[in-house]
Amino acid sequence: MPVDMRVRLGQVDLPNPVLAAAGCAGAGRELAQFTDISRIGAVVSKSIMTEPWTGNPAPRLAETPSGLLNSVGLQGPGIDAFLQRDLPWLLSRGTRVVVSIAGQTVREYGVLASRLADASGVSAVEINLSCPNAEDAGRPFALDPGTAGTVVAAVRGSLRYDIPVFAKLSPDVTDIVAVAGACVASGADGLSLINVLLGMAIDPGTMRPALAGAYGGLSGPAIRPVAVRCVWQVREAFPDVPIIGTGGVHTGRDALELLLAGASMIGVGTALIHDPSACSRVLRELEEDLAAIGVDRVADIIGRAHGGNPQSPPWARPADLTGKM
């Protein structure tokens, strides 16, 4: 019996919980050369701004142990080109689309939401509150619960209510539960956890920062335990709020870990850079892992690692998982 991989995203049933995370798949075109993007759960667009934007100067990428630093700086075509060119193309491929939006001001987020209010075929909007590489580096909106909530309210107020909004948060805070709570109180239907951690590398050869922008966002396997911790904490506090778990997922086992922590969908990001078919592979591996431990429906294991769940089945116990993996 195949595992039932369907999960619910707002009004839409996704065929499975594996999403191409924002930033590493552009608007899906490059990925489509290597993998069938209609078969993954959804493609989350690279964060869209109100205007075309060239991003930060090069070098914008630096490898680190088990991770990647980026300082892309929100490069993108702007909302007009996205709506005219990229969104119709994605929909024509039968792909479910989550649109990530990013603004420099609260007003810009509202403008982006109003533009999307008229667009058909958008499964959800992800509000990127956590880009570390904007002009005021180090002060993403998600660093403060009040500011994060203000942005969410602006988006929610300008968007149709049948389009769910997910707030993408930063792990670079003392209390991610407080930021998550402010977003939910301001109208977020779900949360996307996590964006990158702010990092830096110095090239001993040049004795200068490896990135032109000095700081950058750290992603990849190095940050997965941080993602697991954030998903766990937020799930403990808000068990009914859907979470897209993102951060260093490279294998089906990594995805399973985030599902057990409480994510109901999984974003695959940095893995796509060296394996553009990573979403399909992670999906296949996850399905195999679930079948091997006797799970019929992926929905049954979401949040199962949390204590005090009387229905937690025997296979969810750490010893069983350790034995299998």
Binding site for ligand RRO (CB under 6 A): 23, 47, 70-74, 102, 128, 130-133, 195-196, 217
Rounded Cα distance, 261 and 316, in Å: 11
- Measured from the CB atom, the residue of 136 and 240 that comes closer to ligand RRO is 136
Rounded Cα distance, 234 and 179, in Å: 10
Do the Cβ atoms of 193 and 248 come closer than 8 Å?
no
Rounded Cα distance, 309 and 149, in Å: 30
- Measured from the CB atom, the residue of 73 and 242 that comes closer to ligand RRO is 73
Which residue among the candidates 24, 131, 230, 279 is catalytic per the annotation?
Answer: 131
Other beta carbons within 10 angstroms of residue 209's beta carbon come to 18
Place of tokens 């997922």: 249
- We find the least distance from the C-beta atom of residue 299 to ligand RRO, in angstroms, to be 28
Catalytic, 131? Answer yes
Which residues are CB-neighbours of 231 under 8 A, at least 6 positions away? 193, 194, 243, 245, 258, 261, 262, 263
- We find the least distance from the C-beta atom of residue 49 to ligand RRO, in angstroms, to be 9
- Measured from the CB atom, the residue of 145 and 217 that comes closer to ligand RRO is 217
- We find the least distance from the C-beta atom of residue 247 to ligand RRO, in angstroms, to be 11
Reading the block at residue 100, the tokens are 């990530």
Q: What pairing do the DSSP bridges indicate for beta strands 42-44 and 97-101?
A: parallel
- Measured from the CB atom, the residue of 70 and 264 that comes closer to ligand RRO is 70
- We find the least distance from the C-beta atom of residue 196 to ligand RRO, in angstroms, to be 4
Question: Could you give the angle at the alpha carbon of 148 between the alpha carbons of 220 and 261, nearest 5°?
Answer: 45
Which residues are CB-neighbours of 254 under 8 A, at least 6 positions away? 221, 224, 248, 282
- We find the least distance from the C-beta atom of residue 38 to ligand RRO, in angstroms, to be 25
- Measured from the CB atom, the residue of 102 and 295 that comes closer to ligand RRO is 102
Element (H or E) spanning 19, and its range?
strand 18-20
Catalytic sites, residue numbers: 131
